[in-house]
Amino acid sequence: MDKRAILLFLIPTLFFHIMSSQDNHENFPVSLSELFLDEEIMNISLSYSNKDMKKDTNDSTYIHTYLKFEVDELQWDSLEVRLRKRGNFRLKNCSYAPLKVKIKKKEANKTPFEGHKNLKLVLPCLIQRDMNDNVLKEYLAYKLYEVISPYHFKTKLVELNYEELRGNKIKLHEIKAFFIEDDKHVAERIGGKVLKSNIHPLNHMARESVRNSFFQFMIGNTDFSNAYQHNSKLIFREGEIIPVPYDFDMAGIVNTSYATVSQINNEMLSIDKVTQRMYRGFQREPKLFHEVRLEFLNHRPALLKVIQDCELLFEDDKEYFSMLLFIEGFFEILMNEEKFENEILAMARRK
C-alpha cells in the first residue's frame, strides 16, 4: 500500500478524533444577525460622489447618504448612513474607493442591519472586464475560511446599484460588492475581544494558527502578517489569541491584474507572481501539521462546493474554472508526501 493510499485509509479515523476537539459554532454567545443569516444576494443602492469620497473624507469625516435595500421582491426600504474611504493600496490605485459604512442604532432597528454600527463594503478595484468576477472570488475566499475555522469574518454578497454623482449628472454603475462585519462584532459574536497589541504568532492558539497558515497557502496569499496585524485581526478568547484573516484581493486565487507579491517589512520573497504558493506559517509540532492536513483533506468536498455553488454567478467561465483548478492544486500538494514535505513542512519559519 503506497503512502497516498495509507493517508486515505487513515483520514476517517483521525478526522473523528480531531473534530471532536474543535470549537462548536453553536457555543458562541451571540447568534448571527439577520444580515448574515443566509447566502441570498442582497440588492442595494447608494448615491454619492466617488471624487469627493477620495478627496474629502478621512478617519473622522463622513459623507451622509441613504442606503437603499430590497426587503422583498420590488419592495425597498432605506436607512441613513455615513460613508468614508478606507484602506491604503486600493484607495490610491483603484477606480472605486473602498468604503466603511457607519450606521446609527436607531436607523438600523428592525432592519437586516440591526446590531451593526460599522460595516466594510468591498467594491471592485478597477473598471475592467473581470472586475465583478474578482469581487466574487475574494468573497468566496471568505466563505472558504468559514468552512475551515469557526473564527472568521461574516460576509454578505450584494448587487450594488451605484449612482455616482458627477456635478449635475449621475452615472449609473451596476456592480458586485460585499459587506464584511466589523472586527468588534466578530469578537462579540464569538465571546472575545479585539487585541490592539502585536503578538508573535508562536504565542497564538496553535491549531488555529496552523489552520490560518494552511488557508493562506491554499489561496496563494502572502499579503498578510499575523505578527503585525496586516490584513489580520487578533482576538482574545478564553485565554487564547486567535488570528482572523481578511482582505484577499492580492491572493493568487483572485489573481487581479494589479496584484503583486507582498513585501511586508521590506522582506523580499522568492516568488515572482501571486499564483505561486509560498508557505508563511511558523514551525509547530509536526503532529499538528499532519492533523490540520487531514482536516483540510476532509474539508475538500465542502470547500469545492462553496465555489461550485456560485458557478452561475461568474460572468466569465474561465474565471470560475481557474479558481477551481487553483484550489485543486493545493490538494494535490496535500496528497503528495514529497510536495507536502518540501512546500509546507520545510518552509515553516523559525522566526
Average pLDDT over residues 210-228: 97
Cα(243)–Cα(292) distance, rounded to whole angstroms? 16
Q: How confident is the model at residue 8 (pLDDT cuts 50, 70, 90)?
A: low
Average pLDDT over residues 291-306: 98
Q: How confident is the model at residue 1 (pLDDT cuts 50, 70, 90)?
A: very low
Instruction: Identify whether the C-beta of residue 288 lies closer than 8 Å to the C-beta of residue 207.
Output: yes
User: Based on the domain organization, do 89 and 56 belong to the same domain?
Assistant: yes
pLDDT the model gives residue 32: 85
Cα(269)–Cα(289) distance, rounded to whole angstroms? 23
User: Based on the domain organization, do 94 and 116 belong to the same domain?
Assistant: yes
User: Based on the domain organization, do 233 and 335 belong to the same domain?
Assistant: yes
Closest CA to 179 of 271, 240, 237, 246: 246
User: Based on the domain organization, do 144 and 238 belong to the same domain?
Assistant: no
User: Based on the domain organization, do 211 and 342 belong to the same domain?
Assistant: yes
User: Based on the domain organization, do 204 and 336 belong to the same domain?
Assistant: yes
**Domain end point (choices 144, 159, 185):** 185
**Domain end point (choices 166, 185, 204):** 185
Q: What is the pLDDT of residues 248-285, one digit of tens each?
A: 999 999 999 999 898 777 777 889 999 999 999 999 99
> Exposed, middle or buried by CB within 10 Å (0-12, 13-18, 19+), for 344?
buried
Query: Cell 474565471, residue?
Result: 319
pLDDT the model gives residue 174: 96
Closest CA to 244 of 179, 181, 153, 139: 153
pLDDT the model gives residue 36: 96
> Residue 287 pLDDT more than 70?
yes
> Residue 160 pLDDT more than 80?
yes
Cα(248)–Cα(295) distance, rounded to whole angstroms? 22
pLDDT the model gives residue 4: 53
> Residue 145 pLDDT more than 70?
yes
User: Based on the domain organization, do 117 and 251 belong to the same domain?
Assistant: no
User: Based on the domain organization, do 81 and 112 belong to the same domain?
Assistant: yes
Distance from the Cα of residue 328 to its chain's centroid: 19
Q: How far apart are the first and last CA of the chain?
A: 38
Pairing mode, if any, of strands 155-166 and 42-48? parallel
Which residues form the domain of 233? Answer: 3-29+191-347
User: Based on the domain organization, do 271 and 175 belong to the same domain?
Assistant: no
DSSP class of residue 95 equals S
Q: Which three cell numbers stand for residue 299?
A: 474539508
Q: What is the pLDDT of residues 69-103, one digit of tens each?
A: 999 888 999 999 999 998 777 777 889 988 999 99
User: Based on the domain organization, do 159 and 208 belong to the same domain?
Assistant: no
Q: How confident is the model at residue 196 (pLDDT cuts 50, 70, 90)?
A: very high
Cα(172)–Cα(178) distance, rounded to whole angstroms? 18
Query: Cell 477620495, residue?
Result: 54
pLDDT the model gives residue 93: 83
Q: How many domains does the chain have?
A: 2
> Residue 12 pLDDT more than 90?
no
Q: What is the pLDDT of residues 18-69, one digit of tens each?
A: 444 444 455 787 788 999 999 999 999 999 999 988 886 666 789 999 999 9
Instruction: Identify whether the C-beta of residue 154 lies closer than 8 Å to the C-beta of residue 32.
Output: yes
DSSP 79-93: EEEEEEE--SHHHHH
> Residue 172 pLDDT more than 70?
yes
User: Based on the domain organization, do 94 and 123 belong to the same domain?
Assistant: yes
> Residue 11 pLDDT more than 70?
no
Cα(212)–Cα(92) distance, rounded to whole angstroms? 28
pLDDT the model gives residue 56: 61
User: Based on the domain organization, do 118 and 209 belong to the same domain?
Assistant: no
% pLDDT > 90, the chain: 80
> Residue 128 pLDDT more than 60?
yes
Summary mean pLDDT of the chain: 91
